[in-house]
Structure formats: structure tokens, C-alpha cells
Amino acid sequence: MNAIDNSKMQKDDIAPGELMSILSGAKDSPLIFYYSGRPVKPGYHVTEVKAGQFSALDCGANPEAWSEIFIQLWDIEEDDRTHMPSGKFHAIIRKVTEHVKLDDSAKLTFEVSDGVQPMQLFCAAMPTLRAGAVHVELAPRPASCKPRDRWLADQAQTAACCAPTSAAKCCG
């Protein structure tokens, strides 16, 4: 049995390559991440970037396989620092690629902590440029049942395909 590639399961996630491409076009703009309803503090650090290849068995006994990149943010206030420029973040990730192979299309997960609270996992939305800064919303990465997620996606596809206005196109 072949493993199922779930890297495309969550459509709202941005891939690392997309993020880097956007940031390369706004190198001088401050990069501000938002999580739990607030922005990261201006002194935040990128403390770790790691890449992994995962193999698993889901709750439906389906083999799963995916690659994932984790970027760890330490949300601290430090001296009189301002939010990191997008170009500096871009340079940090590119420096990592000299030592670690990063898949530009991998699932991207942010790990965020203020050093006191436990690490939390987030996925990133498409960055937006507002008021001269790049803003990236981080949403909690929820647990899910992959067989159920696939079934719901199939049901939505079938409903969209066989709706009265499009029935002639794909169901007839």
C-alpha cells in the first residue's frame, strides 16, 4: 500500500517557498507575526529552523507521509529592538538551507513561545503588506482525523460537481 501525501490537506497553509518569495519582495519592511490575537513582541528571535520527513499511520490505518518545516519563534521584548525586517528573516532561512535541506513545498509549522508558556503550534496564512510592514497571521494548528477530512473533501467535491448548474459538466 502506498502512503498518502497529506501535504495539501490544509489549503489555507502557506508553503515555505511562497513565504520566502513574498518576503524577498519586501526586504526592508518589518515582519510582524500575529498569534493568539496579538502581534509578536518587537524583539522576537528565530531560535530554530528544522526540517523533517514523517511517516505515520492514521486512525483509519492509512499510511501517511509528508515533509514539514518548523520555524521556532521566541516571543520576547529585548532592549529597544524593532520588528525584524523581512530581509533578515529571509536571510536566516537561506542560511539554514546551507546546512539543512528545506523543501519549498513542505508543510510549514511555526512553534511559538515567550519562554514561559509552553510551545504552541501554528500554521501561517498568506502575508499581507499594510502600513509599510509585512503581516503574517498564525492560526493554531488543530488536530484532525485525516480519513474524515478526506471524506469531507470528497463530499464537498461531489456536491460542487453535481450541483444543478454544473451537473452537465461533470456528472452527465
> Which residues face 138 on adjacent strands?
124
Residues 95, 8: contact at Cβ < 8 Å?
A: no
Q: What is the mean pLDDT of residues 13-28?
A: 93
**pLDDT for 89-112, tens place per residue?**
999 999 999 999 999 999 999 999
Nearest to 24 by CA among 104, 103, 106, 98: 104
pLDDT at 7 over 50: no
Q: How far apart are CA 161 and CA 168, in angstroms?
A: 9
Residues 136, 73: contact at Cβ < 8 Å?
A: no
Domain spans of the chain?
4-141, 144-172
Q: How far apart are CA 19 and CA 31, in angstroms?
A: 11
pLDDT at 155 over 50: yes
With a CB cutoff of 8 Å and minimum separation 6, the contacts of 96 are 49, 102
Q: How far apart are CA 127 and CA 136, in angstroms?
A: 5
pLDDT at 172 over 80: no
State percent of the chain over pLDDT 70.
87
- Stated pTM of the model: 0.83
Q: How far apart are CA 42 and CA 83, in angstroms?
A: 4
Q: What pLDDT is attached to residue 165?
A: 62
Residue predicted with more confidence, 73 or 13:
73
What is the Cβ-side half-sphere exposure of residue 81, based on CA atoms within 13 angstroms?
17
DSSP 4-61: EE-TTS-TTPPPHHHHHHHHHT-TTSBEEEEETTEEPPTT-EEEEEEEEEEEEE-TTS
pLDDT at 5 over 80: no
What is the Cβ-side half-sphere exposure of residue 113, based on CA atoms within 13 angstroms?
10
